[in-house]
A and B are shown apart, each in its own frame.
Chain A
Amino acid sequence: MRSAEMTAAPAETRQISLSFLRPSRSTVVGLVAVLLFLILWQIAPSMGWVNGRFTSRPTEVFFAALDIFRNDSFLYHARISLTEFVAGFALAIVVSIPLGVLLGTSKIARYLIDPPLMALYIAPTLVLLPILVIWLGIDMAPKIAVVFLGAVFPIVLNTMAGMSEADSRLLRMARSFGASRFDIFTRVLVPGSLPALLTGIRLAVGRAVLGVVVGELFVSQAGIGYQLNLYGQAMRIDRLLVYALIVSAFGYTLTIMVRSVENKIRDWRSK
């Protein structure tokens, strides 16, 4: 009992504040590596090791970034891509969670829909892009559809797994206290499958970001992917890199956010 008392929350918070003051070895090593890389990248073209036209330089990328944020109607393009992302993702969540719940709680539904679902999950949804363009035109609609298709399957499959793999011992315990089917659903199944659901959402983020960008690369009149395409054809490596960095920073931030919620929830489970 005494030991359990001492493993309470305070220990964790102290660790966090310390690591803030004194960066860990891995952070230091990581920082040094990045710095070395940047220096190498900066001097390589001047030393004639690589052709600067193809590699650009960190300083060039930096100034390109400043220029993009000031003069490139960056907000306009970002808003379009973001709208496509949010619309597709929201749609995916609205559809996938109830579907995942249905599949997770009904064996018959699972037997019926699981195989085609798996097939669609594994097949890269991007192959549907040309068809979607024919059906939906070149505006936002086909990209929203691609985002939707990319995000919907991981969420459905993970929600389904979380529901159907619920701990049978907990279900039995709930029944022993006279829990109704509804009680079992809301008090045991839903909280129990939340981590799996979040895993699904985290996996979906990556696929959705990819969907937006590739959709816009393929055919569009605006958006981040459109800009990427534009500067690619113009051989503006510095600007290309700025947009690539923006895309990955966006996906990375979202993923980290979902993961931190996920970890908080997993903390409750047996370690």
Chain B
Amino acid sequence: MAQIEIRDLGIDYRKPKSNEVFSAVDGVALSIERGEFVTIVGSSGCGKSTLLMAVAGLVNLSRGSIRIDSKEVIGPGPDRAVVFQEASLLPWRSVRGNVKFGLEMQRWNGGDLNERAMQMIRLVGLGRFSDYHPHQLSGGMRQRVNIARALAVDPEVLLMDEPFGALDAQTREIMGTELLRIWERDKKTALFVTHDIDEAIFLADKIVVMGRNPGHIKEVIKVDLPRPRDEAVLDSEDFNNLRRRLRAHLAEDMSSMQLVQEVA
């Protein structure tokens, strides 16, 4: 059986004023094998974050189930760690203090906390910045810290919600390559939300394309590009084909979005 089994998942939210209930995600079924790198793409508001937060155990499910290693997800757990899109570093803690945070919360007993944290900080290339506070770091460096904090607790599943979304294209590419380098070390299962098509293809074993109203899975695309990958793969024929296919998907979604707006 697959490591992560999502069955008939539905998540409802209340609209702010009217108290009306609507589905942010509905009828989602997905299997993820151990060690797979899965990217999730889709236009804004189609429920990508909601799906990821559900796997993290941070939102309540309205329908269906999520199982990890055949255990039902009922809340956050040490088998998962999340890298959030926005600033989620504690401003009063140094880089090292932030990386230690997850270890402290999980009562880590696999040796010295400082050493473990430093190891992870070096892994993401911030060795010389361990005493800096978040406000002294660039956006890219902050996301490296976020990643180091998640990696430090040695999760079975790494959940990332547009971790490079706020970065410029150049930095984003570098970070993607770095992430793959780190991931190649022990190939833990990864779920990665993005709306950057190239990023989605470059990282993935499998791309989940989502559509909206309500959020659902339109297609799951296998990516068979050889690993380890580097920037050269971006120009390959296979990559181009995938890119075209994804573009068509997202364009379709955009036009249906416009239609909704015009009708409304």
A25 contacts chain B at the CB level, 8 A cutoff: no
A191 contacts chain B at the CB level, 8 A cutoff: yes
CB distance A176 to B87 under 8 Å?
Answer: no
| Residues from chain A with Cβ under 8 Å of B80 in the complex | 176
Q: Which of A186-244 contact B (CB under 8 A)?
A: 187-188, 191-192, 194
Given contacts A169-B88, A268-B134, 15 further A-B contacts (CB under 8 A): A1-B141, A4-B136, A5-B128, A7-B136, A8-B132, A8-B136, A169-B86, A170-B88, A176-B82, A177-B101, A177-B105, A178-B106, A183-B105, A268-B135, A269-B92
A179 CA / B75 CA spacing, docked (Å):
11
| Known contacts A169-B86, A173-B84, A176-B56; is-contact A268 B92 (Cβ 8 Å) | yes
B91 contacts chain A at the CB level, 8 A cutoff: yes
CB distance B58 to A172 under 8 Å?
Answer: yes
Count, A-B residue pairs, CB within 8 A = 79
Contact with B along A164-185 (1 / 0, CB 8 A): 0000011011111111000100
CB distance B78 to A175 under 8 Å?
Answer: no
Q: How many residues of chain A are within 8 Å of chain B by beta carbon? A: 28
Q: Which of A1-47 contact B (CB under 8 A)?
A: 1, 3-5, 7-8
Return the chain B residue nearest A183 by Cβ: B105
Return the chain A residue nearest B125 by Cβ: A1
Q: Which residues of A contact B (CB under 8 A)?
A: 1, 3-5, 7-8, 169-170, 172-179, 183, 187-188, 191-192, 194, 265, 267-271
Smallest Cβ distance from B189 to chain A, in angstroms? 16
CB distance A4 to B91 under 8 Å?
Answer: no
What are 18 A-to-B residue pairs whose CB atoms are below 8 Å? A1-B141, A4-B138, A5-B128, A7-B136, A169-B86, A173-B88, A174-B105, A175-B76, A176-B56, A176-B80, A176-B84, A177-B102, A178-B106, A187-B101, A187-B104, A188-B90, A191-B90, A269-B91
Smallest Cβ distance from B156 to chain A, in angstroms? 14
| Residues from chain A with Cβ under 8 Å of B104 in the complex | 183, 187
CB distance A268 to B101 under 8 Å?
Answer: no
B77 contacts chain A at the CB level, 8 A cutoff: yes
CB distance A175 to B90 under 8 Å?
Answer: no
A172 CA / B76 CA spacing, docked (Å):
10
A7 CA / B138 CA spacing, docked (Å):
12
| Residues from chain A with Cβ under 8 Å of B84 in the complex | 169, 172-173, 176
B81 contacts chain A at the CB level, 8 A cutoff: yes
Return the chain B residue nearest A173 by Cβ: B88
| Residues from chain A with Cβ under 8 Å of B249 in the complex | none
B220 contacts chain A at the CB level, 8 A cutoff: no
A7 CA / B135 CA spacing, docked (Å):
11
Q: Which of B96-140 contact A (CB under 8 A)?
A: 101-102, 104-106, 128-129, 132-138
A170 CA / B93 CA spacing, docked (Å):
13
A2 CA / B84 CA spacing, docked (Å):
25
CB distance A268 to B133 under 8 Å?
Answer: yes
| Residues from chain A with Cβ under 8 Å of B77 in the complex | 178
B38 contacts chain A at the CB level, 8 A cutoff: no
CB distance B88 to A268 under 8 Å?
Answer: no
CB distance A177 to B136 under 8 Å?
Answer: no
CB distance A178 to B128 under 8 Å?
Answer: no
| Residues from chain B with Cβ under 8 Å of A174 in the complex | 101, 105
A5 CA / B104 CA spacing, docked (Å):
28
| Known contacts A1-B138, A4-B136, A265-B92; is-contact A179 B105 (Cβ 8 Å) | yes
CB distance B81 to A176 under 8 Å?
Answer: yes
CB distance B90 to A270 under 8 Å?
Answer: no
B153 contacts chain A at the CB level, 8 A cutoff: yes
The interface centre, meaning the residue of B92, B106, B141 with most chain A CB atoms within 10 A of its CB, is B92
Smallest CB-CB A-B distances: 9 pairs: A173-B88, A177-B105, A177-B102, A176-B82, A179-B105, A268-B92, A269-B91, A191-B92, A268-B91
